[in-house]
A and B are shown apart, each in its own frame.
Chain A
Amino acid sequence: MSPAANPIPPKPGLLTALKELPKNVWNSIFRNPLPSNDLEKSATSFTNFFLHIHPVKVHKHSLKPTYTLGLGLISFFLFVILILTGILLMFYYVPSTTQAYDRMLDLRGTVAFGMILRNMHRWSAHGMVAVVFLHLARVFFTGAYKKPREFNWVLGVVLFLLTLFMSFTGYLLPWDQLAFWAITVGTAIAGYAPVVGKDIQFLLMGGTSVGQEALLRFYVLHVAVLPAILTLGISIHFWRIRKDGGLSRPPEADATPALEFSAPAATMKVAGPESRKTYGLQGLVRGPITKAGQVPDNTVFSWPDLFRAELFTFVITLSAILILSLLFNAPLEEPVNILHPPNPAKAPWYFLGLQEMVSYSAFWGGIGIPTIFVVLLFITPYIDRAQTGVGKWFAKERLLANTIFLTFVLANIVFVIIGTFFRGPNWAFVMPW
């Protein structure tokens, strides 16, 4: 059948085609065999859609688990789990005050895998809030926000706030007493903002109290608006990591060992023509790590070290979430009863620090101090311009900055703990035991 004009290569027999079918399909998907040399290692990273956002080579320092603790990756994987479970949950959920709670009961009782899905979504959401914050703290304590990573830090803070908002909007959806009153409290805190507070509150709730309009708004924000923004933000965040020269590291990590060939070079097997530039494309990219040829440095190929580390992080994250979801069921309290608020009505745990502070002063606790903290976070890289202490945990040079940050963090943690465990009816101090 092949046109006569193209006689070469000769037409393979049908039998051969069938015989080679699995191999051909495989090869059509994966362009490269499992890499056995540097060229193939780099090609693997370049030609795979999912791997090509990684650099071909990665600095050894970035692979140190004690430096990053894998927190950024864990946040990302939690986000992936959230997206996947969230989409599945969307098949069953109806954002209606009359149906939402029934749907929760269905998910818990009848829908196949409904309970585990909901548990995974719940615990991943809480986990993501916590891990994103820890990631932020890690970046701060290692001074990683400094030039040239200022903007990525700012973006990171935005992503953190978005994560909080994402979790907050999801909190309402089960439409039980816990959800209803937590959101009532949470939106009330927003209402304490000067001038625009009441308007923001009204805009969020679509009315003067939490009701059908609020449920719909929170739903749309939760499943469409915020995930889209968050996905975009995360993409830029990742892109910026590469454009800013990989993860932060101390200057001494880049010191070239005296003319000693680095590990990959030493183990390099000659496969293709040796003179060919392995990283041709990278040569066109401007930036601090641009290099061509085999300049001795402290980098290793992403394949397999980086990818294995990422896989490991993913497996750990998923196992943890699965175990949690198997052991603990996501809470589902009474159906909403507007006339019967629980005492005390508590915001979601990550806002309990705010609520605790609100109990002392509505404005300062709910708006003033959090705003100061967030503004400080935003401008930190533009204030703290010294280039010392980057890439080291709790560097002595950064004692002041770390202390200020730690004070805020610890204060908030203490308030969250007080608000969560030590507050009883009428917000009176109680012992949790």
Chain B
Amino acid sequence: MRIALAIGTFFILLIHGIVFYDQFFHRWERNQTAYFDQARAMAKSDAERAALSDRKPRIEQIVVSNFGETRVDRCTTCHIASDDPRFSTYAEPLKTHPYSIAMGDVQKNGKWERRHKFSEFGCTVCHDGQGRGLEPKYSHGEDEYWPDPLLGHTTQDSWRKDYAPKLKGKEYLEANCAQCHTDPGFAGTATVEKGRKLFFATNCYGCHRIEGLSDGTIGPDLTEVGKKWKLDYLWGRIADPRAILATSIMPKFNLKDDEIKALVIFLKSRKGRNFAETEIQRYKVKLTGGAELVQATIKPVEIKPAEMLKQGEKLILDRACTACHKLGARDGGIAPDLSFEGSIKDEQWISAHFKNPKSTMPDSIMPTFRFTDDEFKAMTAYLVSLKTAPALTNGEATYKALCLRCHGDKGDGNGPIAIHLDPFPRDLTKAGFMNSKSDTRLVNSIRNGVAGTSMPAWGKMLDEEQAKGVLAYIQTAFTKEPRRELKARQIPEKNPIAMSAESVARGEAQFVNRCAGCHGKKADGKGPNSLDIQPKPRNLRNARFVDSVDDRRLFEAILYGVQGTAMPSWIDYGLNNNDVGDLVNFIRAINQKPKGGQNAGTNQ
């Protein structure tokens, strides 16, 4: 017992010893002592030496109240020589903060004078980091919980290893410079400006809103993105959006590292209110919704009828359509090829698609741009004029020129842009599907397209023979299995059940019971089971598609299923023609357009 007591007491004393040692022999004290020693050695006069002798190590701090919330910066406790020009060649922490003309520092009589005095600005206003701490780990923001590690200097352990080295560099500090220097032409924030330009050039503005700059609604609002997220996250969201959020619809843009860096720096500078704004300015922007500023950023072009085509072409390029689409040599690698748009779409379709992409393709990820009607007209006119077809010598060449971008070089529907398309391109290697459809039907799909989806009508470019050639190539190269004789199916040509409120109600009950698991309660193809199904269940609220298929085809799909997909044959589950008739009426009913032009709600 006595020994145990002695050991316990010893531990208590020992730990007290360690704690006290820690408390009274700080690293910063050693730094300061070293500084005093060095400075004494450099001193030129006795008075200077005496003054230094009087200085004892102490916690230095700068209280900054001019910039937002009051900050307490104790950085100079360690970086005590930051304002002493004699230490410019020393190593950190005893190094002079560099003087620079670009920063506005001036030399008078051989003495530098700072534009940004530390006594007024402190340190963290520009550098971030945590001013209150005295331990490098915490003050530099190395611990993963600190939201603002030293900009462009400190990376945290939790950051992705391949990104971390790219997140170092002085340019990142510009994000903080831009908190006061908001003028786009300011020389010190060139990278922020580059990022701002890229924000428009790569079409970020189409989806994202930044107060006063853009008003996209598809993606998250980025007005305060720099305040919320660290560099690592910003880089990751741009460089590889789906690595962070698997369900993100944000395309992976074809950007070089220095472009991503500029965008990250620009986004890091978006902190909602910056120091240059006043409350009243902020309020004014809020009143107008930033509309004036948005329009000032994207200036409307006056369209002259004589130069319509030219202006349309310029607009398409200037407004960064090719950040996603392909047009000639330019290719964003995200959206379909526009190079021969005039041959596959008409003016009406293109114009409608411009004004509201979802009106022609309900699941398109293309944002709605708020350009003027005249601008849309010019851009439409230009696209309609693009009718130069590529060389279509045989089936294979045609496939490669027209189909590969979506259906992929293996024909499995995994083309380069496929992940951005909804519905997903058909997997042409699935013999179950391909062989359950007649040649006529498949050629029809090629020549007339599939309404409401990204599959265009190739009829103007491919005649019957050419289309058959492509189909033959697909069947031999991808489907491979030999064609089989199709079994005869008993399918009514017309829906035997007349459209009525009762029939629709019966159909809805039937739908909720049997179909909603995959097609979803809203019939939008997003039911709980849909996540594991490929191809995805059809969106039955896609009015363009539903209107384009006749009753016979709906009956066939429901009664006999769709081979090669998860759609079962409902005859096997006891549905008869009358049940299917109700279902078809229900599906038609939810896609009926009232005079307003909107899709009708469910018919209750």
Contacts and interface: CB of A to CB of B under 8 A. Distances in A.
B65 to A, nearest CB: 14
Given A110-B74, A322-B15, A335-B147, A312 B138 contact: no
Most A Cβ at <10 Å: residue of B12, B59, B69, B228: B12
Interface in A276-323: 308, 311-312, 315-316, 318-319, 322-323
Nearest to A340: B228
Given A312-B1, A334-B145, A337-B228, A109 B139 contact: yes
B303 to A, nearest CB: 42
B23 A102 contact: no
A113 B74 CA distance: 18
A195 interface: no
A308 B1 contact: yes
Contacts of B12: 315, 318-319, 322
Contact of B133 (A105, A116, A331, A340): A105
Contacts of A332: 145
A109 B146 CA distance: 13
B1 A109 contact: no
Contacts, number: 67
B1 A326 contact: no
Interface stretch (B2-10, B395-403, B489-497, B542-550): B2-10
Interface of A is mostly: helix
Nearest to B8: A315
Given A102-B72, A312-B8, A334 B138 contact: no
A244 interface: no
Given A105-B133, A340-B228, A110 B59 contact: yes
B91 interface: no
Contacts of B11: 319, 322-323
A146 interface: no
A333 B138 CA distance: 12
A108 interface: yes
A316 B15 CA distance: 13
B130 interface: yes
Contacts of B16: 322
Contacts of A109: 74, 130, 132-135, 138-139
Contacts of A319: 8, 11-12, 15
A116 B74 CA distance: 21
Contacts of A177: 145
A106 interface: yes
A7 B319 CA distance: 113
A188 B146 CA distance: 27
A432 to B, nearest CB: 17
Contacts of B228: 337, 339-340
Most B Cβ at <10 Å: residue of A176, A315, A316, A337: A315
B244 interface: no
Contacts of A106: 132
A108 B131 CA distance: 12
B132 A312 contact: no
B5 A108 contact: no
Q: Give me the 7 closest cross-chain CB pairs, A-B, nearest first.
A: A109-B133, A315-B8, A105-B132, A322-B15, A319-B11, A333-B145, A109-B134
11 contacts: A98-B69, A105-B130, A108-B138, A109-B132, A110-B134, A113-B19, A116-B19, A319-B15, A323-B11, A326-B15, A334-B146
